[in-house]
Amino acid sequence: MISVIIPSYNEEENIFEAAQAVSAVLADREYELIFVDDGSTDGTWQKITEASADPHIRGLRFSRNFGKEPAIRAGLEAASGDAAVVMDCDLQHPPKVIPEMIEKWENGAKVVEGKKSARGSKGSSYSVFAAAFNSVMTRATGFDMSGASDFILLDREAVKAVLSYGESGSFFRALAQYVGFESEAVYYDVAERERGSGKWTFFKLLSYALKNIASFTSAPLLLGLASGAVVIVAAVVLFILKWCGADLGPFGAGVLALMLVGGLILISLGIIGYYLSRIYDEVKRRPKYIISADTKERK
């Protein structure tokens, strides 16, 4: 059996279309379709309960908005398929690629990653941001994350491995590679979102990016060390200038050096503080999500 997992947040316009499109490509197989309603405030849950009249479809509802990562996790935990496919609700991950993913899985791949061959036009600042984020993540994880997305098929074994990473700030698309296993890729064009709007605000994206970078690398902590080196070099330069007779004013050199040192110390402290806050979040061991309803319980 194939499980398809769709995290959905305020997607009332897309539930039926997504259900239909997925059912169409999987009609000749055994499958289940799990919608995880990530605390939507519109009619998403209503649509999901209606759609779940189809015995293939199951809906899980979060008690509030926990985020896409917890929604993916909840779906993977609920899935009972031999393979699980995670995809977006807005059909930007084209369901017609799923049979291709399944074929690669049947030929032995444990992880089949959907890679973006073109990015839907999203505005240049978004693509610059995405490219920068992907290149940092590529360095941090040691896997090629350019064009990576959350459109991924996982074999049951890989699902188990991904779920065994118990951290609350996990990053699904990187973990799917990180667990190892034989991996293949299929390429797809990102379609435009047809209905509804993107669910990310700038700050949500920024915090998502920082969280995921911090969850895979502690290299920024070395910035403290690097900034120390910069300060020493700057101090030496100032000293040489002064020694050569340059006039930096009565306090010029001192003020400059103080500002430099102060700024760099504050940056380093900020980075340490950020990692500390991530550690604090992890040690609290809070549940990653809370389910308030499950359509299966009513069947």
Q: How far is the CB of 154 from ligand UDP (least distance, A)?
A: 17
**150 in contact with Mg ion (CB under 5 A):** no
Which residue shows structure tokens 């499109």?
A: 21
Q: Is 68 in the site for ligand UDP (CB under 6 A)?
A: yes
- CA pair distance 262, 282, nearest whole angstrom: 30
Instruction: Report how far apart, in Å, the C-alpha atoms of 205 and of each of 129, 201, 209, 210 are.
Output: 9, 6, 6, 9
Among 92, 141, 168, 268, binds ligand UDP (CB under 6 A): 92
Output 70 or 220, the one with its CB closest to ligand UDP: 70
- Contacts of residue 217, defined as CB under 8 A and 6 or more positions apart, other chains included, come to 139, 140, 141
Q: Which entry of ligand UDP, Mg ion, none binds 89, CB below 5 to 8 A by partner kind?
A: ligand UDP
Burial class (CB within 10 angstroms; exposed 0-12, middle 13-18, buried 19+) of 214:
buried
> Closest approach of Cβ 282 to ligand UDP, in Å?
20
Contacting Mg ion within 167-196 (CB under 5 A): 193
Stretch that binds ligand UDP, among 23-31, 63-71, 100-108, 277-285 (CB under 6 A): 63-71
> Could you tell me which residues are beta bridge partners of residue 293?
61
Residues 124-143 that bind ligand UDP (CB under 6 A): none
Under the criterion CB under 5 A, does residue 90 sit at the interface with Mg ion? yes
Question: Is the dihedral angle over the CA atoms 47, 48, 52, 54 positive or is it negative?
Answer: positive
Q: In whole angstroms, what is the distance from residue 58 CA to residue 180 CA?
A: 30
Instruction: Between 42 and 103, name the residue whose CB sits nearer to ligand UDP.
Output: 42
Q: Measured between alpha carbons, how far is 270 from 210 in angstroms, rounded to an integer? A: 13
CB of residue 278 to ligand UDP, shortest distance in Å: 19
Q: To the nearest whole angstrom, how small is the minimum distance from the Cβ of residue 150 to Mg ion? A: 10
Q: Judged by CB under 6 A, which stretch of 4-12, 52-60, 95-103, 106-114 contacts ligand UDP?
A: 4-12
* Residue of 167, 184, 174, 175 lying closest to 138 (CA atoms): 174
Of 5 and 154, the one with the shorter C-beta distance to ligand UDP is 5
Q: Which helix (H) or strand (E) holds 96?
A: none
**Binding track over 196-215 against ligand UDP, x by CB under 6 A:** --xxx---------------
Within the chain, residue ranges assigned H as helices are 15-26, 44-51, 68-78, 98-106, 124-141, 156-164, 172-178, 202-216, 223-243, 252-283
Stretch that binds Mg ion, among 88-96, 109-117, 123-131, 136-144 (CB under 5 A): 88-96
Q: Closest approach of Cβ 193 to ligand UDP, in Å?
A: 6
Interacting residues toward ligand UDP by CB under 6 A? 7-9, 11, 38, 65, 67-68, 71, 88-90, 92, 193, 198-200
